[in-house]
Amino acid sequence: MKKKILFIVTEDWYFISHRLKLAKYLRKKGFEVSVCCKDTGKIIDIERNGIAYFPLSVDRKSLSIIKFFRESIKIIKTCKRN
């Protein structure tokens, strides 16, 4: 069974600029790598590297605790399914 890594970031472009290199390294080491983030049009670049994508709709400017918990529950459910 492969070990799994899930990156949770607010935006796809941030993942590409700050974590893509690490994610590619982890894939080479045998990990199954996924990212949960908002799609701003860069998801194709993530998926081209063999990294699974799960949508996340978080507004970086929002301070709503209700939205935060709602999205947290979605992430937990996604993790349990996969």
Mean per-residue pLDDT, 10-32: 97
DSSP-based helix, strand, coil % in the chain, nearest 5: 45, 25, 30
Distance between CA atoms of residues 46 and 34, nearest Å: 9
Q: Global pTM? A: 0.81
**The pLDDT of residue 82 is above 90:** no
Report pLDDT for 38: 92
Please state, in angstroms and as integers, the Cα–Cα distance from residue 5 to each residue in 2, 23, 41, 51, 79, following that order. Answer: 10, 9, 22, 10, 10
**The pLDDT of residue 11 is above 90:** yes
Higher pLDDT, 23 or 79: 23
Residue-wise pLDDT for 59-70, tens only, equals 667 667 787 788
